[in-house]
C-alpha cells in the first residue's frame, strides 16, 4: 500500500485495513532528518521509547520520560508527509490507571500531532485500551517480550517456549485486539506462536523477532542500518553497515584538520570586491 504522490498521510484506519492485503512496513524514528529519509518507504513510523537506549545510552527503556517522547514525537512529525506516526507511552505514564493513560496520551497527541499511541501489556491493559479508544485515541498494542517489564520478566529473552508462557501471550493478544487496538506488536516470541496469533486476531500484527507470517515488520532503524557495531540481536538483519562508514569519514576529517588540508580555499568566505 502506498500513497506516493498523494498529500494525504496514512492513518491508523489505513494500517488496520492492510490486514490480509499488504505487509505493513514499519521502522523507528526519533529525529527529523531520519524521519524524512524513512517516510517515503514506510507505512508506519514508530517513535519508540527505544530512543532511551539508541540515542541516550540507557541500558533499558525504563528511564524514558513523557517529556522525551513528546520532544522526539514533534521532531519526527516535522519530517513526515506519508507515513502514519505512533508515539510510545513511556514506562510509568499509563500503568497506574486508565485516567492517567488518557492524560498522557492526550498530551502526546496534542503536543506532537501524532496519529496514536503505543502501550505495552495484554490482559491487564485491555480495560485501559478500551477506555482510550472509546475516547478517540487510537492504540497500538504490544505483547510478547515487553521491554518496559525487563526488571520483572527476567531480562531480554524470547518468550513462548513453555505452554504456560505461550497461552499467556495468546490471551494477551486476543484481549488487546478485542479491546480495540488497531494493530499489535508481537516481540521476541517463538515463530509458530506468532504465526498462530497473526491468523487468529482481526487486526494487523507487526513482528519484531517473531514471524515472517506477521502482517508487518518493525526494526529499530539504527540496528538495521548497522550504526551499532558492538551488539546485533538475532532478529536483526543489517541492510547497511553505516557504522564503519561514519568512523572512516570522521577519521578522514580528523586527518585533514590535523594536516591543515581542511578547510581549503573553497570552504572559506572571501571579501567581496
Residues marked as catalytic:
187
Q: What single string gives the DSSP state of each residue in 137-165? A: --EEEEEES-GGGHHHHTSS--B--SHHH
Annotated binding site for Mg(2+): 49, 88, 120
Query: Quick one: which H or E segment has residue 184?
Result: strand 183-187
Annotated binding site: 49-50, 88, 118, 120
CB 37 within 8 A of CB 45: no
Q: Give 183's contacts (C-beta < 8 A, 6+ positions apart).
A: 12, 15, 16, 24, 140, 141, 203, 204, 205, 206, 215, 216
Give dist(CA 228, CA 52) in Å, integer: 15
CA distance 45 to 59: 23
C-beta atoms surrounding 144 within 10 Å? 29
Determine the longest span between alpha carbons in the chain, in angstroms. Answer: 81
Annotated binding site for 3-methyl-2-oxobutanoate: 49-50, 88, 118
Strand bridging mode 24-28 / 44-47 = parallel
| 63, 67, 70, 76: CA torsion to nearest 10 | -60
The position carrying cell 525487563 is 150
- CA dist 263 and 261 (Å) reads 6
126 CB-side CA count, 13 A:
12
Strand bridging mode 216-219 / 84-88: unpaired
Amino acid at each position: 500500500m502506498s500513497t506516493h504522490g498523494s498529500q494525504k498521510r496514512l492513518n491508523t484506519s489505513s494500517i488496520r485495513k492492510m490486514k490480509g492485503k499488504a505487509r505493513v512496513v514499519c521502522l523507528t524514528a526519533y529525529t527529523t532528518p531520519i524521519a524524512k529519509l524513512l517516510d517515503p518507504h514506510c507505512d508506519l513510523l514508530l517513535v519508540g521509547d527505544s530512543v532511551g537506549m539508541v540515542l541516550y545510552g540507557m541500558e533499558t527503556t525504563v528511564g524514558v520520560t513523557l517529556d522525551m517522547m513528546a520532544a522526539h514525537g514533534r521532531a519526527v512529525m516535522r519530517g513526515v508527509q506519508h507515513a502514519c506516526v505512533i508515539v510510545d507511552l513511556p514506562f510509568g505514564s499509563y500503568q497506574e490507571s486508565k485516567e492517567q493513560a488518557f492524560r498522557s496520551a492526550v498530551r502526546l497527541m496534542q503536543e506532537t500531532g501524532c496519529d496514536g499511541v503505543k502501550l505495552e501489556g495484554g490482559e491487564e491493559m485491555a480495560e485501559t485500551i478500551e477506555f482510550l479508544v472509546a475516547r478517540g485515541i487510537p492504540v497500538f498494542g504490544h505483547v510478547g517480550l515487553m521491554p518496559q517489564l525487563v526488571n520483572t520478566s527476567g531480562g531480554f529473552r524470547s518468550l513462548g517456549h513453555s505452554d504456560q508462557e505461550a497461552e499467556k501471550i495468546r490471551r494477551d493478544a486476543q484481549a488487546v485486539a478485542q479491546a480495540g487496538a488497531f494493530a499489535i506488536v508481537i516481540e521476541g516470541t517463538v515463530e509458530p506462536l506468532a504465526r498462530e496469533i497473526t491468523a487468529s486476531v482481526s487486526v494487523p500484527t507487526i513482528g519484531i523477532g517473531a514471524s515472517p507470517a506477521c502482517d508487518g515488520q518493525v526494526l529499530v532503524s539504527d540496528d538495521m542500518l548497522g550504526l551499532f557495531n558492538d551488539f546485533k540481536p538475532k532478529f536483526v538483519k543489517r541492510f547497511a553497515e553505516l557504522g564503519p562508514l561514519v568512523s572512516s569519514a570522521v577519521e578522514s576529517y580528523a586527518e585533514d584538520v590535523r594536516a591543515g588540508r581542511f578547510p581549503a580555499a573553497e570552504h572559506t568566505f572571501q571579501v567581496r570586491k
